[in-house]
Structure 1
């Protein structure tokens, strides 16, 4: 009888074991699927990011090199149309384009007709004479001498030498005539055509010509804007965080302020641009396209981030620090300024740097205050018209010339380098000054 009773019990136990095994198998299978989906998502994300970075780097590094043509330039006062004058105004107004054309004619003496000369001179940039002007202004003694000088080639020739545009006769998209192709081949055979480091990319301002455009104006404008942003938002943000966390009474008004600060951190940046347009430009009459206005608008964007990060850093300081200081007779103000704030400052600095990095990449609010204007000159101060790096990327990406594709990628690389340095600085500050309790 006992054997008959034990048999159904063993069968039930075996059935339960099978059910548990099947459930475990389904759980493990679901876990493996979830892990595979997660790994697949990471792989896809890394692939997209890698493709994007590869395209940016491959295009951007090409902008670091610029095609130049070697010419023997004769600084003839008659061609320069200055006679015996050597004053600054005469040297600045001299005909340096004539020197460039004369040098090209000397290298290709067989070119005689006006149409051929026009095609020949088209191989050089329209701003090739600017280098000669700077040389003469720096040292007028070179007038009357002949010197070999590497002059900037046109953007089309630069793209052709880099293999981006075709240079074979009959190819689709060819921008050169057969005569120009022959002249290019002759320059290469004589070693008078070479790619050199593009110093103008970091020493010149914007230009309508791709081969002449540089980033210095945008870099200086970004530096002025971020400097003003830091001077405004750091003291105000730290003071606000300290007051709300350490001194403000806990009531409905402070709760309302905290909610509004958190909401401001999520407001689209273009709203701050509209606010800057209405207040700083239309009400106070500040100059349009100036880094001063850009810095003020970026400060409004960065303030909520800095306040939130500052309050989090203050909350991370253990209450025992406050209790010990006050137990030794320190006042509330002394406790905060001498003990709590120094310990929370690394976190505040980290939040400030991250807020500044966020401000550096903003474009929409700066477009609203007119920083989209075409600015050639390098700004000498925060009141001068200027561009910034994100806006410069926007302007160049909208240009139809093929040469600006490289310049756009180069500007993105410079912007990413600055953002990476700021994030590395935030990490370094956190690691160096962070206290673990």
Structure 2
């Protein structure tokens, strides 16, 4: 079923902070989508943020109508698209105790096999939230490690989680000193076969790493739940050869130094897509190398998603780095400014819908969020703050007409939503139940 869902702000939040929805983002405020997840029952969770920073306003400004602000918002939608509830968390003006959700960078969502919503953030912070968004069930907080500051290890889990068809957890964890930086960056991919619950966390068995030799390591940087060949990952002990060592001959300019690991997705229970992106440059990065590697659960690189050109299909334009997968049917998808791409489980490109055509040009305004358990693509419009749910056909040869129909339906549904919701400058508000986590 094709659906269009609004990324709506709680009306009470807008009123309390007197947010001017008609103002341009250049005035210092904005709304930004972070991630979308879909439960097996068809319910959708969307994670997005709102911020405001006004130059000259003191950080300790007491009046909420004029103070700077920042919040994360999670909205839950029924399978039919109705907004069921929202939750507000992670206020930027808090002292760390104002929200039970652990805040961090690159925040993502995942619906665990038991229906619990997992909110993960770098570095390896995972918060478990009840499916109805009514309460936080548990928080695994790693405690961020910073240079020249005393570090007390916390109770970490993962920076991102994805679920395979049988319920295995595909996880990314961070390490300190990746590429000699004085912070924690995503570096290890692993698989957990046990459940993640408020009472316990499973061991993550590492299958791949990015930087083979992070520096400035200490004993406190080891995490007992992230293991390789029976021992905790750390110092010289991690999967080798690393992804960058396997790809070393493909980047003559930088040898993959300062490369980044994207969020992996499962292509099957035992096969995963691991995105690796070369270093980005301030003057433009189009043409930089990238690889969507296929790695099995034993750590062997079995191939890659093929058929993309480093320049003509570059994900660096607009920084469109997401990959989504339908592991139940063994397909992977990627959307960037140049097109929508679809592969089968062998890594063979089966469809490319180029945005240089009139039919699919509207795709350049969307970003790819995820793929539902039913195989639907969830796309987020970058300026209209809407989520488009696109069913995909069994035969990828029929993807083009399916997406074309979805784009036409989006235009009609968007018009209907505007009539019902009366958005201001494509900013939507709702009065549904709001939880404060």
Could you tell me the TM-score, scaled by structure 1's length? 0.20
Larger radius of gyration: 1
The structure with the largest helix share of the pair is 1
Return the structure number with greater strand share.
2
Larger relative contact order (Cα-Cα within 8 Å, sequence gap ≥ 6): 1
